[in-house]
Structure 1
Amino acid sequence: MKTVARSERWSGYALLTVMAIVVVIPFLSVFLASLQPAGTPVVGLTWPERWSWDNYETAWSVAGFSDLIRHSLIIAVGVVPACLVLAALAGYALGTMRLPGGNAMAAFFIAGLTIPVELIVVPLYFDLRNLGLTNSYLGVILVEIALFMPFSVFWMRTHFLSTPMSLVEAARMDGASSATILVRILLPLARPSLMTLGLLVFMWSWNQFLLVLVLIQDTTKHTAPAGLGFFVGQNSTDIPTLAAGTIIVMLPILILFVVFQRSFLAGLLQGAMKG
């Protein structure tokens, strides 16, 4: 039995190692390409003969990434807290309360996971134009909140469903209100799940490209991914500079993951064990 368990463990390690290599190689290739001298033709995974960091300075100044990143942060900072608050409230109600039609509402949110943004982006544009919300960050923030809510509610509902109801019932017997139970008892227990959800929503908001491209025609208000798209069109032959721009756009997400990786993984593992 020990031999079988050991072989399974090493087989798992080998599979994870192969998967890690497959994931890391494209990122390593882009990073090494960004260190090539500007204008150098790059094919595949190529080690630079001379490391050049000038591409980052060029990409930063030419594409105006300081403004683009600021715009992305404005949208993400508006989306993430709203999603967390609304998802916690809806997940608490659907997960701990016996509401008439509660299961139907939960199914409605789950059905929202199947709607691709490409299907609704054009109707959304006309609706927001009629409301005067095109070319504004508020319009994008509202749309992203609506797009991310199905998964957010599903995530928090799953967490609250796994919460021991004895805690809730004991608090209610002591006279605690629903708001008190949520804020003082359940939300502290939900911290890993909230942290993971916040990181996921931030990542999804940061990576939005098509939505921003359609809803904001003013290029001075574009976000980092949309600005990178224009930058690619203007410098399609300079691969090292394009790679540097790609790394700049990816860097905030990578830094955020490194800083909060323990909370992120704890939330994922908590959800996996509860599921």
Structure 2
Amino acid sequence: MLELLKSSVLIVLGVVPLSILLGTMAGFAIGHLRVIGGRVVFLLFVLGLTLPFEGIITPLYYQIRDMGLLNTRWAIILPLIGLFMPFSVFWMRAHFVNMPGELSESARMDGANLWQLFRRIHLPLAMPAISSLGILLFLWTWNQFLLAIVLVDDPAKRTMSGALGAFQGQWGTDIPLLCAGSLLILAPTLAIFLIFQRHFVKALLQGSLKG
């Protein structure tokens, strides 16, 4: 069980931070900077939200095989980063598009460049949205099942949810044993949500109240 926990933690650490970074930077560019062609790019990301994992699992398997990453944790990490990008960009754009332009104008008048504008002004204000996005990505990554069982044969390199399928096949259908494993998988997700629930609710209500 400790090996499964370690594997899940490594996969989460590989997926969540990079997904948040890329999604935040892309959301800032599309939502606040209004870059040329940003609306078209955003529509492509929205289209990606309609793409189910099941619909691309077969070509994804052959692509990962050709890259030589089958039966490694990278076979789960890299596809999840790509599959989470549409929602990450959509979520962060919704925050940055509501930021007043006066903030950026004031910062530029004080001599801030684009990177300083993003890092010192908008990034701190986006922490509720970033925290809630991190919670969602953590939950989805921790509970990832399909990619784990298709792309990784070694249960010790899967997520805990994916390893539970092999655990059931190896030891039969002992219901109390499977329930115990399910509770162990559920415990970290419940703890994370309880700890950061205020950030999650704050992000959902952001912009809904005036004054």
TM-score normalised by L of structure 2? 0.94
1:173 Cα deviation from its structure 2 partner: 2.2
Long gaps (5+) in structure 2 = none
Tell me the C-alpha RMSD between the 2 structures.
1.6
Q: Is the 8 A contact 2:143 2:159 kept in 1?
A: no
Per-residue deviation, residues 160-187 of structure 1 (Å, max 9, x unmatched): 0000111011112222111101100001
The equivalent position to 1:139 in structure 2, one of 75, 99, 107, is 75
1:85-96 aligned at under 5 Å gives the runs: 85-96=21-32
Are positions 1:171 and 2:107 aligned together? yes
Paired with 1:273 and 1:66, the residues of 2 have a C-alpha distance of: 45
The equivalent position to 1:229 in structure 2, one of 165, 183, 198, is 165
Are positions 1:212 and 2:148 aligned together? yes
Q: Is the 8 A contact 1:112 1:150 kept in 2?
A: yes
Are positions 1:191 and 2:127 aligned together? yes
Paired with 1:227 and 1:247, the residues of 2 have a C-alpha distance of: 14
Q: 1:103 to 1:273 in 2, by over 3 A?
A: farther
1:133 aligns to what SS in structure 2?
Answer: coil
Q: Is the 8 A contact 2:19 2:88 kept in 1?
A: yes
TM-score normalised by L of structure 1? 0.73
Q: Is the 8 A contact 1:121 1:211 kept in 2?
A: yes
Opposite residue 96 of structure 1, the aligned amino acid is H
Q: Is the 8 A contact 1:193 1:271 kept in 2?
A: no
1:71-110 aligned at under 5 Å gives the runs: 71-110=7-46
1:221 Cα deviation from its structure 2 partner: 1.7
Q: 1:128 to 1:271 in 2, by over 3 A?
A: farther
Q: 1:134 to 1:271 in 2, by over 3 A?
A: farther
Are positions 1:157 and 2:93 aligned together? yes
Greater C-alpha Rg = 1
Corresponding pairs, count: 210
Q: Report the counterpart of residue 12 of structure 1 in structure 2.
A: none
1:58-77 aligned at under 5 Å gives the runs: 65-77=1-13
1:111 aligns to what SS in structure 2?
Answer: helix
Paired with 1:145 and 1:160, the residues of 2 have a C-alpha distance of: 21
Per-residue deviation, residues 179-224 of structure 1 (Å, max 9, x unmatched): 1011000011101000000010011111110101111112332220
Paired with 1:243 and 1:271, the residues of 2 have a C-alpha distance of: 41
Opposite residue 182 of structure 1, the aligned amino acid is F
Q: Percent identity?
A: 48
2:206 aligns to what SS in structure 1?
Answer: helix
Paired with 1:256 and 1:159, the residues of 2 have a C-alpha distance of: 22
1:259-270 aligned at under 5 Å gives the runs: 259-270=195-206
2:112 aligns to what SS in structure 1?
Answer: coil
Q: Is the 8 A contact 1:96 1:160 kept in 2?
A: yes
Long gaps (5+) in structure 1 = 1-64
- My pick for the range that moved more, 120-129 or 229-238, is 229-238
